[in-house]
C-alpha cells in the first residue's frame, strides 16, 4: 500500500480527490494519506472533512495533517499537487487587473495566467526539491497546479529530471460529456488531440474504431457540449459561467469547421466578445469564493458542530482522473490519457522539447507521447505564438527579466497592444509584490 501526500491540502478540491481515492482503494491501495499546506489554518478547516471521508471507507488508513515538508513527504510514493499560490484573493487580481484595461480576465489564459505563472513556478520547483529530498526515490508528483502549461515548462527548464506528470481535467471533462452524448462511458473513447494545455484541438474521437467526431460536432453545433444530463450529474459544471464556457465553442466551430476546439480557445480567438460579457467587478474568483468555497467551509463548520457531514463537495471526473493516472503510473498499466508532456516529435512541426498536450501511454517510467503528426499552418502558428509567450514568461521568472515578461505579455493573443501589455504588467507587479521574483 502507498503513502500519498496531497500538496495543497487546504484546497476545496481535496475532499473530492480523497473521495475518489476511497472508491478506488481496490485498484490503488493506500497505507497513509498526508495533507500538506503552507496555510495550516485553512488546511485545519478542511482536514476533518477529509478525515471523515476516509473513515467512512477505511479504519486502517493513517491520516496525517502537516505544514512540515519533511513530515509530509518522507517516504511518500505519490504526491498529488494542487497548489494555488496566493489563493483566491490573488486569482481575483489575475482576473480583475486585465479587465480594468479591457483585456480578458482569466486565471490561466492571457495576462492573468502569466501572472499566476510568475507566482507558481518557483514554489513548484521547491516542491520538486522537497520530494527529491524526502520522498521515495521512485515517487511521482502528479500535478494539477495551474497554470499547467507554464508550470510544466518551468519545471522542465529548472528540474528536468524531476518525476512530475502535469495534468488537466479539461480534456477528460470534455470526454466525459462526449461519452454522455454518445451514450458510452468515457473510458471507451480513444481520442486524438494536439496542442498546449488550455490551447488545443480534438481531431478524432474513436468508439470501437469508428470516428464519432463528425456526429459530435453536429450535436455540439445544436446543443453545446454540455448535455443536460452531464450538468446534473456534475454540479461544478452547472455553474452559469461553466455552461457559458461550452456555449462559446459554437462560433469557433462555425468559423473553422475542422476539429473540435478546447473551449479555452475562446479567450484567444474572440477576446473582445469575452471581455464584453465579463463583469469587471465580479469574476470567476468571486463566484468560486461565494460558491464552492463558502459551501465547503459551511459544511466543515456544520460537521464540527453536529457530527453530520453535509454532501457539500464536488466529486467527479477531476478526482477520478488523477486516480486513473496514478494507477497507470503505479502499476505500469500503459493506459492512454491526455496529459502534458515533452513533445519529442509527437506534434511533428512544433519544437521537440515543447511541453505539449497530447495522448500518451502512462507507464511506470512516465508518459510516452503518441504521434499526432504535423498540424496545419493555422494551428501551428497559433501554437507557436502561445508557446513563445509562455516560454518567455518562464525565462522572465528564471532571469528576473522585466523585458522578457513584457515580451510574454505583448505576444499573448489576448493582449491587443504593447501599451496594454506594459500597463497591465506594471499593475501586476504592484499587486504581486509579495509573490513574484524581482523583475
Going through 27-138 in order, the beta strands assigned E by DSSP cover 30-36, 62-66, 78-81
| Residue 149 within binding range of Mn ion, rule CB under 5 A | no
Q: Is 116 part of the annotated catalytic residue set?
A: no
C-alpha–C-alpha distance, residues 20 and 6, integer Å: 13
x/- track of binding to ligand G6P for residues 147-176 (CB under 6 A): ---------------------xxx------
Task: Tell me: does residue 358 bind Mn ion (CB under 5 A).
Answer: no
142 near Mn ion, rule: CB under 5 A? no
**Closer to ligand G6P by Cβ: residue 169 or 427:** 169
Return d(Cα 7, Cα 80) in angstroms, integer: 6
Asked if residues 357 and 340 have their Cβ atoms less than 8 Å apart, the reply is yes
Return phi, psi of residue 239, to 5°.
-55, 140
Answer yes or no whether residue 322 interacts with Mn ion by CB under 5 A: no
Provide, rounded to whole angstroms, the least separation between the CB of residue 191 and ligand G6P. Answer: 16
172 belongs to the binding site for Mn ion (CB under 5 A)? no
339 is a contact residue toward ligand G6P (CB under 6 A)? no
Distance, first Cα to last Cα, the chain: 45
169 is catalytic: yes
- Residue 67's contacts (CB-CB under 8 Å, 6 or more residues apart) are 36, 37, 38, 39, 40, 43
Catalytic entry in 36, 116, 264, 267: 264
Distance, in Å, from the CA atom of 88 to the CA atom of 12, rounded to the nearest integer, reads 11
**Local structure of 401: helix, strand or coil:** coil
**Bridge partners (DSSP) listed for residue 124:** none
**Minimal distance, residue 317 CB to Mn ion, in Å:** 12
Instruction: Enumerate residues 278-307 that contact ligand G6P by CB under 6 A.
Output: 284, 288
Position 170 contacts Mn ion (CB under 5 A)? yes
And the C-alpha cell for 154? 518551468
Instruction: Please identify the residue of the shown chain whose CB is closest to the bound Mn ion.
Output: 168
Is position 168 an interface residue for Mn ion (rule: CB under 5 A)? yes
284 binds, among Mn ion, ligand G6P, none (CB under 5 to 8 A by kind): ligand G6P
325 contributes a contact to Mn ion by CB under 5 A: no
Q: Is residue 54 a contact residue for ligand G6P (CB under 6 A)?
A: no
Which residues of 24-139 form beta strands (DSSP E)? Answer: 30-36, 62-66, 78-81
So which residues are the catalytic ones?
Answer: 169, 264
Residue numbers at the binding site for Mn ion (CB under 5 A): 168, 170
Which positions touch ligand G6P (CB under 6 A)?
A: 108, 146, 168-170, 284, 288
Amino acid at each position: 500500500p502507498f503513502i500519498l501526500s496531497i500538496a495543497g491540502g487546504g484546497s476545496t478540491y481535496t475532499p473530492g480527490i480523497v473521495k475518489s481515492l476511497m472508491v478506488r482503494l481496490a485498484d490503488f491501495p493506500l497505507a497513509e494519506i498526508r495533507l500538506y499546506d503552507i496555510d495550516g489554518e485553512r488546511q485545519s478547516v478542511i482536514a476533518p472533512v477529509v478525515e471523515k471521508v476516509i473513515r467512512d471507507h477505511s479504519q486502517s488508513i493513517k491520516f496525517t495533517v502537516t505544514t512540515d515538508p519533511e513530515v509530509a513527504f518522507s517516504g511518500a510514493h505519490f504526491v498529488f499537487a494542487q497548489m494555488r499560490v496566493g489563493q483566491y484573493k490573488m486569482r481575483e487580481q489575475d482576473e480583475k487587473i486585465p479587465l480594468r484595461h479591457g483585456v480578458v480576465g482569466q486565471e490561466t489564459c492571457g495576462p492573468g495566467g502569466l501572472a499566476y505563472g510568475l507566482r507558481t513556478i518557483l514554489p513548484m520547483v521547491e516542491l520538486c526539491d522537497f520530494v527529491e529530498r524526502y520522498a521515495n526515490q521512485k515517487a511521482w508528483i502528479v500535478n494539477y497546479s495551474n497554470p499547467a502549461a507554464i508550470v510544466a515548462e518551468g519545471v522542465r527548464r529548472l528540474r528536468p529530471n524531476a518525476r512530475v506528470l502535469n495534468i488537466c481535467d479539461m480534456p477528460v471533462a470534455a470526454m466525459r460529456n462526449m461519452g454522455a452524448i454518445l451514450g458510452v462511458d468515457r473510458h471507451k473513447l480513444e481520442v486524438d488531440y494536439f496542442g498546449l494545455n488550455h490551447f488545443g484541438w480534438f481531431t478524432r474521437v474513436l468508439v470501437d474504431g469508428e470516428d464519432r467526431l463528425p456526429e459530435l460536432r453536429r450535436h455540439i453545433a445544436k446543443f453545446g457540449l454540455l448535455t443536460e444530463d452531464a450538468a446534473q450529474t456534475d454540479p461544478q459544471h452547472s455553474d452559469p459561467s461553466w455552461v457559458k464556457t461550452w456555449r462559446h465553442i459554437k462560433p469557433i466551430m462555425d468559423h473553422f469547421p475542422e476539429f473540435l476546439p478546447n473551449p479555452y480557445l475562446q479567450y484567444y480567438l474572440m477576446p473582445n466578445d469575452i471581455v464584453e460579457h465579463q463583469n469587471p467587478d465580479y469574476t470567476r474568483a468571486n463566484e468560486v469564493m461565494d460558491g464552492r468555497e463558502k459551501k465547503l467551509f459551511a459544511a466543515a463548520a456544520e460537521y464540527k458542530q453536529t457530527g453530520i457531514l453535509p454532501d457539500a463537495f464536488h466529486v467527479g471526473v477531476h478526482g477520478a482522473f488523477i486516480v486513473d493516472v496514478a494507477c497507470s503510473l503505479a502499476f505500469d498499466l500503459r493506459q492512454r490519457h491526455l496529459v502534458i508532456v515533452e513533445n519529442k516529435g509527437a506534434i511533428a512541426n512544433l519544437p521537440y522539447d515543447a511541453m505539449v498536450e497530447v495522448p500518451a501511454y502512462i507507464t511506470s517510467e512516465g508518459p510516452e507521447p503518441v504521434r499526432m503528426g504535423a498540424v496545419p499552418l493555422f494551428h501551428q502558428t497559433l501554437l507557436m505564438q502561445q508557446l513563445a509567450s509562455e516560454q518567455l514568461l518562464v525565462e522572465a521568472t528564471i532571469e528576473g527579466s522585466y523585458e522578457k515578461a513584457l515580451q510574454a505579455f505583448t505576444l499573448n493573443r489576448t493582449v491587443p497592444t504593447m501599451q496594454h501589455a506594459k500597463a497591465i504588467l506594471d499593475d501586476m507587479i504592484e499587486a504581486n509584490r509579495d509573490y513574484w521574483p524581482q523583475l
